Amino acid sequence: MKTLHLLSLALLTAAPALAARPRPPAEPPTLHSPWDVSPVKLTQTPYACPKLAPISPDITITNLAHIRDTLTEAAYQAAYPESSVALSALARAVVAAADNYRSTGSQAAAVCAVSLLSGAAMNHSMAGAMASTQAWKDQNLTLRSLAIAFLKVRNSGLVSPDDAGLILAWFHDVVQQERQHYQDAKCTRNACALLGHQGLETAMAATAIAIAANDHRLYDWAIGNFYVAVDHIEDTGMLHYDLEHQYALKFNLESAAALVQIAEFSLINGEDLYAYDDGRLHLLIHTVTRGLLDPAPFRSATGRDQTLTGPLKSWEISWASVYDQRFPDPVIDQLLQQVNFKGADMWGGEPWTLDAQSPGTSN
């Protein structure tokens, strides 16, 4: 009996040590996109996929469309792979195919989007040297368009693991290149690319790529940039590092669009960034949308006339479509009506809706 008692005592004594053993860390939750909540029913609707010329890693020409008349056809074709014209064509084709898939369920359209993306990934397109500031902007515009288009088709059942791995690795290489470029840029008192529209558009692309790859580290980096940017919204409703002369309205507008996209992506992943700092983002959105009607505050802030003039373009307001559904605003609604609620490639094409599924979706 004494032996049994001692054995029982030893087991009881050891119990706390077993209970104190650290548990393995829990797996982080899967990141989601707004398109995950409305699965699409595949159809046999035909879709004509365009044949695009390969795009090189290096982008050396940004004004090729403007000088085409001065080139022979052979010279134009030789220059094309290294131009922003080629990037624009790729973004337009992939976004159109992804949107067609979302609206019609076309299997052919989804396959088209994936094949165009995998082809560009195999070439490591736009992942090399960028020859100018404009080339960097064109690279980012294309990247965020493609990343959002990929989110639209990734759950179609038509993306093979090999294609997904290839595309996501390419996305990752390009966005890391952009991150490094803007992190290396010198910040001064009044200029900081990382904390202005360029850095925020990179953060927007990073958010979409992070969701596609379930990359929490990249996602957290992008969200961190959101917080820092909102901290720099002045009481005038303008971003300090975007007040650059005649481009102040344009740059603040691009920053607002990028921040809204990030906020929307975060909201579906359980974090309400719209509420950060007592909803300070709304101040920037209010200021830039009113600026589209009357740029006087930006003219006053910079002492320069602003570049955004003439008829309203879809890219200038399409980013606010979902925002207007969530936070109804008569001015934004009026502006959206002017462009017939049309999406823009640079913001990923047609947006999702909060209150209805699109045609072709399953119930």
DSSP string, 178-192: HHHHHHHSPP-SS--
CA distance 85 to 52: 12
What percent of the chain lies above the pLDDT cut of 90?
A: 79
The mean per-residue pLDDT over the stretch 112-139 comes to 97
Residue 316 has pLDDT above 70, yes or no: yes
How high is the pLDDT of residue 101?
A: 97
Structural domain boundaries of the chain? Answer: 32-163, 185-347
Which of 12-16, 72-76, 111-115, 153-157 bottoms out in mean pLDDT, i.e. has the lowest?
12-16
355: pLDDT confidence band, cut at 50, 70 and 90? low
How high is the pLDDT of residue 357?
A: 37
DSSP string, 236-282: TS-BGGG--GGGHHHHHHHHHHHHHHHHHHHHHTT--GGGHHHHHHH
Give which of 29, 77, 20, 69 is closest to 53, Cα–Cα. 77
Superfamily grouping for domain 185-347: Chondroitin AC/alginate lyase (1.50.10.100)
- How far is CA 159 from each of CA 122, 155, 162, rounded to the nearest angstrom? 15, 8, 8
Residue 354 has pLDDT above 80, yes or no: no
351: pLDDT confidence band, cut at 50, 70 and 90? confident
CA distance 225 to 179: 11
The mean per-residue pLDDT over the stretch 137-155 comes to 96
Give which of 147, 199, 203, 176 is closest to 346, Cα–Cα. 147
